[in-house]
Structure 1
Amino acid sequence: MAVLPIRDRVGNVLIDVRFPGEAEHADVPASLVVVVHAHAVLMMFDSRRRQWELPGGMREHGESPHQTAVRELREETGIRGAGLTFAGVAEFDLVAPPRRELLAVYRGELQVVPRLVVNDEALGFRWWRPSEPVSGAMSPLDAEIARRVFRHGRDGETIGR
């Protein structure tokens, strides 16, 4: 795992990944999802940012962070009923517009590879092993979140800064 903080190619910074209780962060503006199958994490190729990243997105009015994760996973991948559990909170320093932001992170374990649906947001999918290097076309921030959530779920250990 990388030493935090780490920066992506446009200047966004992943400051920390924490594994607290969900009720503490009910006001987060977005959710990310780490989907695990056979020791690999699902990454999608985002059509707007042109990079491999975790599924997820912004909360809609009246949604809980969990509802956002379920909806975004379904919209971006076609996956339904993944049984998502709260994994933690990722803290970012973002550049456009400049702001500090917390995002809820959820984890789902799949026993069978689902049929993934390419769409306007997700141009492709790949299963990435967190032990592999991060390619230049992958978000280093999302890769680090995936590594930490993957390890935390596997070992039960808390991994932060």
Structure 2
Amino acid sequence: MANLPIRDRAGNVLVDFRLVAEEELGRLAEHVGVPASLVVAIHAGAVLMMFDSWRRQWELPGGTREPGECPREAAVRELGEETGIHGVDLSFAAVAEFDLTKPERRELLAVYRTRLQVAPRLTVNSEALDFRWWPPSEPVSEDMSPLDAEIARRVVRSADS
């Protein structure tokens, strides 16, 4: 695992990663918004990464909450929309804290995980142009989000301990 903070090529920074209870999201959101959720899908020791059509990099499935959605609902919806994976149990894993650019802001993202017993059929779409199963023990490639890779590593490590 890398020492935090770490920065990506766009200047976004992963500031902190906290193992907290899901119930603490409301309290944390009073200070910093929790506008999005990420999902770490694990199968056979590897993490599902999708190639994002807009950012042109490998990253974790996830995205912005819609009006009225809680972080868990956003995670379930985004996982389905971006990958075609439906009907899996998600466990709350952590909160990731970011300093983001364009526009400049501080955000918390809710991070969920799921362990898949069978490799799912994945659906290429307008958001996810491709998929790969990335072993967190491997180096982060130039075309992968170092922030998402670090989150994945920390989630896998916490799930295995």
Give the TM-score taking structure 2 as reference length.
0.95
Per-residue deviation, 1:101: 0.5
For residues 54-65 of structure 1, the aligned pairs below 5 Å read: 54-65=60-71
**Structure 1: gaps (5+ residues):** 156-161
Q: Per the alignment, in what secondary structure is the counterpart of residue 51 of structure 2?
A: strand
Per-residue deviation, 1:127: 0.1
**Per-residue displacement from partner, 1:68-119 (whole Å, max 9, x unpaired)?**
0000000000001120010010000001100110000000000000000000
Q: Quick one: which amino acid aligns to residue 4 of structure 1?
A: L
Q: Per the alignment, in what secondary structure is the counterpart of residue 62 of structure 1?
A: coil
**Per-residue displacement from partner, 1:125-157 (whole Å, max 9, x unpaired)?**
0000000000000000000000000100111xx
What is the percent sequence identity of the aligned residues? 72
Q: Per the alignment, in what secondary structure is the counterpart of residue 80 of structure 2?
A: helix
For residues 7-156 of structure 1, the aligned pairs below 5 Å read: 7-26=7-26, 27=29, 28-155=34-161
Per-residue deviation, 1:24: 1.4
* Matched pairs, number: 155
Per-residue deviation, 1:23: 1.6
Q: Quick one: which amino acid aligns to residue 33 of structure 1?
A: V
Give the TM-score taking structure 1 as reference length.
0.95
**Structure 2: gaps (5+ residues):** none
Q: Which runs of 4+ in 1 moved over 3 A?
A: none
